[in-house]
Structure 1
Amino acid sequence: MRLARTEPTDQEPDIRARPPLVREFLLVAGLFLAYKFGRQAANGHVEEAFRNAGSVWDLERALHLPGEGAVQGLLLHGQPLIHAANTYYAAVHFPATALFLIWLYWRRPAHYVRSRRVLAALTGAALVLHLLYPLAPPRMLPAAGLVDTGQVYGPTVYGQTPATDTMANQFAAMPSLHVGWAVMVALGLIAATRSRWRWLWLLHPAITLFVVVGTANHYWLDAIVVVALLAVALAAFRPPPTARTVPAPLRAPGAWGSGEGAPVPAYAGGGSGSYEGGGRPAISEAPVASGTYAGGPR
């Protein structure tokens, strides 16, 4: 019977698991550009986007979700705070995800491959939803009564109106990739590191959720849907093994199979059967000739 023992995974990068750099760069860049330009196809569906926004707003109220206005009210207490939130929304989302993938590629190649696949699947699913369900963000919905903090306080990554915005699709609110990517970054770093402080990475998605809702760029449901999609993607791509199985060495067939040289118990005091100290027998691992006991002939 083959025995196995489990050893902790080496934390040093496994070069064999690292894909070719040029191929990965072209692949990730191609996927990002396909998403960036693909979501532009949802532009122009103004009536549908606002109709869907009204439906999402009504559904949230029916589900008794907290009002987005309550979160925005916390930010509007001070201009520096709302400016910081707008900056976080505009400047952290993409660079944080890119740095996450770069670090995994160099330091945890096996984790990188899975994370890239999960992010690609999540982003692809989000693109399909952007096209099938155009959604105006709450900052555009009159019924929400929210402030477009990016336009009022800055900075912002969007044009003043969706019709004049050629760089972004403002009707791609469902689902929130800001939240989805942030959750994946946190989970990926927690899985790939062993520091006792690694759970602090969860602050990134928590802050991101607070920011996207407080700046009125997303609804609560945008975040709920993207987390559900991420859960499906994580289930579809199993994690790499966290430990490797090393077979235990086997003895040569003649070593113990015939009884010669096998360690046998020898009771202290010879073959009289007496135990050392009157307790359990003392075991000797000294090999003896086949068919004999340590205390004398069989």
Structure 2
Amino acid sequence: MAAGIRGIRSTRPAGPGATATPRPPLLRELLLVTALFLVYKFGRLFANGHETRAFHNADRVWDAERAVHLPGEGTVQALLLHGEGLIRAANTYYAAVHFPATIAFLAWLYWRRPDHYVWSRRVLALLTTAALALHLLIPLAPPRMLAASGLVDTARVYGPSVYGATPETDSMANQFAAMPSLHFGWALMVAIGLIMATRSRWRLLWLLHPLLTLLVIVGTANHYWFDALAAAVLLALALLVVPAPQHRRHDGDPDPARPLVPLTPATAASTASTAGALR
């Protein structure tokens, strides 16, 4: 009987803090993630300039969107411009949420889901590298700079803004790196990563983050629809290349081996005797 009870208890999940996959060395991961953000931030500067090509490509993207009958970016902007508070909130979301949300996502995965953390970090690194290559190959002026769009540069007019008044005065950002939109690509990966790593019945609500990001980047005239589409395609390719982790039960997940009724001496004895009879 004692052996039977010990066998039943061994099916319980490990104690608090146990994980199926060991966490990678923290210092190494901090260096890797920091390098990822620095490559994204400063690598784009090498694509700066090329103003003539950037505006030529912008005209082509704008015409292509109209050719396939996509709704004008101005439709979204008109909704935001109904109130100054709303447009300021959108500008703040664009300026302040992108990096912190991604960092918080990686930090949570590192602590709670190490296997999903490694997968997500690899996908984000591949996505960012591919996006940087596209920034270098296809400089693109954002719709807020394109006269044909008739859009308002909401960050410059209402604030806050992360860019200089003109590309020439902006030494810390490449304003001609609109395609693909890593604002959208990273937000979409955050949602996918959290949906994959959690089991809450509400986890699909994480998709509101990329949806809101899409409305913000288009409504503030920082990106075209095609910029978000390009980011989604690159992310899909990265997800195909990097194998997804298999789900392992973590703390807080349902335990299929745990008895549905409280384990008492009587039920333990009954279970042990049944197991012995089956043998």
TM-score bucket (shorter structure): 0.7 to 0.9
Equivalent pair of 2:20/2:248 in contact (CA under 8 Å) = no
Aligned match of 2:135: 130
Aligned match of 2:198: 193
Partner amino acid, structure 1, of 2:197: A
State the identity %.
69
Aligned-pair distance for 1:9?
A: 9.7
Aligned match of 2:63: 58
Equivalent pair of 1:13/1:106 in contact (CA under 8 Å) = no
Counterpart pick for 1:76 among 72, 78, 81: 81
Aligned-pair distance for 1:16?
A: 4.3
Aligned-pair distance for 1:235?
A: 0.9
Partner amino acid, structure 2, of 1:154: G
Aligned match of 2:31: 26
Distance 2:222 2:33 in 1: 26
- 1:8 to 1:286, Cα distance in 2 relative to 1, 3 A: closer
Query: Is 1:154 the equivalent of 2:159?
Result: yes
- 1:109 to 1:61, Cα distance in 2 relative to 1, 3 A: same
Task: State the TM-score, normalizing by the size of structure 2.
Answer: 0.83
Partner amino acid, structure 2, of 1:124: T
- 1:100 to 1:236, Cα distance in 2 relative to 1, 3 A: same
- 1:193 to 1:162, Cα distance in 2 relative to 1, 3 A: same
Higher relative contact order (CA 8 A, sep 6+): 2
Residues 235-246 of structure 1: pairs in structure 2 closer than 5 A: 235-243=240-248
Aligned-pair distance for 1:116?
A: 0.1
Distance 2:12 2:61 in 1: 47
In structure 1, list runs of 5 or more residues that go unmatched. Answer: 1-6, 245-284, 288-298
Task: State the TM-score, normalizing by the size of structure 1.
Answer: 0.77
**SS of aligned partner of 1:17:** coil
Distance 1:15 1:196 in 2: 22
Q: Paired residues, what number?
A: 241
Aligned match of 1:103: 108
Distance 2:13 2:245 in 1: 11
Distance 2:21 2:80 in 1: 48
Distance 2:55 2:12 in 1: 53
- 1:243 to 1:22, Cα distance in 2 relative to 1, 3 A: closer
Aligned match of 1:48: 53
Richer in strand (by share): 1
Aligned-pair distance for 1:69?
A: 0.4
Q: Which runs of 4+ in 1 moved over 6 A?
A: 7-11
Partner amino acid, structure 2, of 1:93: H
Query: Is 1:171 the equivalent of 2:167?
Result: no
Query: Is 1:86 the equivalent of 2:98?
Result: no
Aligned-pair distance for 1:211?
A: 0.2
Richer in helix (by share): 2
Distance 2:12 2:162 in 1: 45
CA distances 1:235-278 after superposition (whole Å, capped 9, x unpaired)? 1111111158xxxxxxxxxxxxxxxxxxxxxxxxxxxxxxxxxx
Partner amino acid, structure 2, of 1:47: T
After superposing the two structures, state which structure 1 stretch, 175-184 or 234-243, moved more: 234-243
